Amino acid sequence: MDTLSPDERDALERFSRALKHLRTIMGRNVPSQIIQAYLVVALDEGRPVNEYATILGASQTTASRHLMDLSDRRRSRQEGFKLLYRRDNPLDEREKLVTLSPHGKAMRQLVLETLRE
């Protein structure tokens, strides 16, 4: 059996609490890919969908669906998580640029505070 140092245990407990916050907002059964999509935008917002697809190691179609779920409206036409905005790129209207909504920024702050505790 592996034993964790107190620092390792504390880090994993903080990470677990941060995930709990995300799942509270997004729902208990939210796939980890959706959480990861949110986190890559939270790390570096303002990129086009195809760049996030590359970062996620996903097809552009899959990344687009995940990012849509995180915005106002899910692909199933249900209400989305409202953590992201997807806007047309003024320099290339075929692209969507993705940024955090105010709700998404508040969620990022909560996650960061939880990880610092």
* C-beta separation of 67 from 37 below 8 A: yes
* pLDDT for the residue numbered 96: 86
User: Taking residues 84-111, what's their average pLDDT?
Assistant: 92
* pLDDT for the residue numbered 61: 94
pLDDT at 1 over 70: no
* pLDDT for the residue numbered 45: 95
In a domain, 60, yes or no: yes
Domain count, the chain: 1
117 or 105, greater pLDDT: 105
In whole angstroms, what separates CA 2 from the centre of its chain?
31
pLDDT tier, 74 (very low <50, low <70, confident <90, very high otherwise): confident
Q: Tell me which residue range forms the domain holding 28.
A: 6-116
**Helix 60-69 crosses helix 32-43 at what angle (to 10 degrees)?**
90
In a domain, 1, yes or no: no
Domain at 112, CATH number: 1.10.10.10
* pLDDT for the residue numbered 36: 95
In a domain, 47, yes or no: yes
In a domain, 39, yes or no: yes
H or E stretch at 96: strand 92-100
* pLDDT for the residue numbered 69: 92
Average pLDDT score over the chain:
91
Tens digit of pLDDT for each residue in 2-47?
789 999 999 999 999 999 988 988 888 889 999 999 999 999 999 9
Q: DSSP assignment of 5-60, as one string?
A: -HHHHHHHHHHHHHHHHHHHHH-TT--HHHHHHHHHHHHS-SEEHHHHHHHHT--H
